[in-house]
């Protein structure tokens, strides 16, 4: 008596289609949950390489944008300090002109000198204390001569770098000819 093995071809075909459907469902769920069309190299190898390259560039641009915003903050801090110092210098000029007339007495001139001295001290204080990220911007003793801000996607390129020089900003009352003990008078 011979043995017969029967196969249910319809059942095997249905199982194969079910397995294919489950694999497609799993792939679709993976794409939906990640939000990406390409999740692994099997989906699209060339597309994955391009996608990863673009993601890297996007991250680099995000950092470059953050660096540019830091540069804007630096300029705003410097501008704020310079505005205050400009106001002080204008007031010092007013005091010098006011003191140069013979129509005021020694007592008034003494008051003007006191205000002048206080303003010079304030000018030095602002110059010494205006800082960005620990660097005193206006301090003549500061050895840092510039800020280099990388605003490109690659750190090795100097084309995408902004250089903000500090040399012209370093001053105090002495460098302006307003040194200690200076007085205004006729």
Q: What is the DSSP letter of 161?
A: E
pLDDT of residue 80: 93
Instruction: Spell out the domains of the chain, with CATH numbers in brackets.
Output: 45-169 (1.20.1330.10)
- Report yes or no: 163 and 146 within 8 Å, Cβ to Cβ: yes
Q: Which two tokens stand for residue 135?
A: 């660097």
Q: Give the span between the Cα atoms of 117 and 144, in whole angstroms.
A: 29
Tell me the sheet residues that pair with 165. Answer: 146
Q: Give the span between the Cα atoms of 182 and 186, in whole angstroms.
A: 13
pLDDT of residue 77: 92
- What values do phi and psi take at 147, rounded to 5? -105, 135
pLDDT of residue 107: 92
pLDDT of residue 52: 84
The answer to whether the Cα torsion of 23, 25, 31, 34 is positive or negative is negative
pLDDT of residue 183: 60
Of residues 122, 123, 112, 90, the one with CA closest to residue 185: 112
pLDDT of residue 25: 86
By three-state DSSP, how is residue 160 classified? coil
pLDDT of residue 132: 86
pLDDT of residue 134: 86
Q: Which helix H or strand E contains 162, and what residues bound it?
A: strand 161-165
pLDDT of residue 88: 93
Low-confidence ranges of the chain (pLDDT < 50): none
pLDDT of residue 115: 93
What share of the chain in percent tops pLDDT 70? 78
């Amino acid at each position: 008596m011979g043995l017969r093995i029967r196969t249910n071809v319809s059942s095997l075909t249905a199982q194969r289609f079910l397995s294919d459907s489950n694999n497609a469902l799993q792939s679709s769920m993976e794409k939906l949950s990640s939000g990406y069309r390409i999740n692994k190299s099997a989906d699209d190898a060339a597309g994955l390489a391009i996608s990863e390259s673009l993601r890297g560039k996007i991250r680099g641009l995000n950092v470059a944008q953050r660096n540019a915003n830091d540069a804007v903050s630096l300029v705003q801090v410097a501008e704020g300090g310079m505005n205050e110092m400009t106001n002080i210098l204008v007031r010092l000029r007013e005091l010098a002109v006011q003191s140069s007339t013979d129509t005021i007495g020694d007592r008034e001139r003494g008051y003007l000198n006191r205000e002048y001295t206080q303003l010079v001290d304030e000018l030095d204080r602002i110059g010494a204390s205006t800082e960005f990220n620990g660097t005193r911007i206006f301090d003549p003793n500061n050895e840092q001569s510039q800020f280099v801000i990388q605003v490109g996607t690659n750190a090795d390129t100097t084309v995408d770098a902004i250089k903000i020089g500090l040399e012209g900003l370093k001053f105090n009352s002495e460098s302006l000819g307003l040194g200690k003990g200076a007085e205004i008078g006729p």
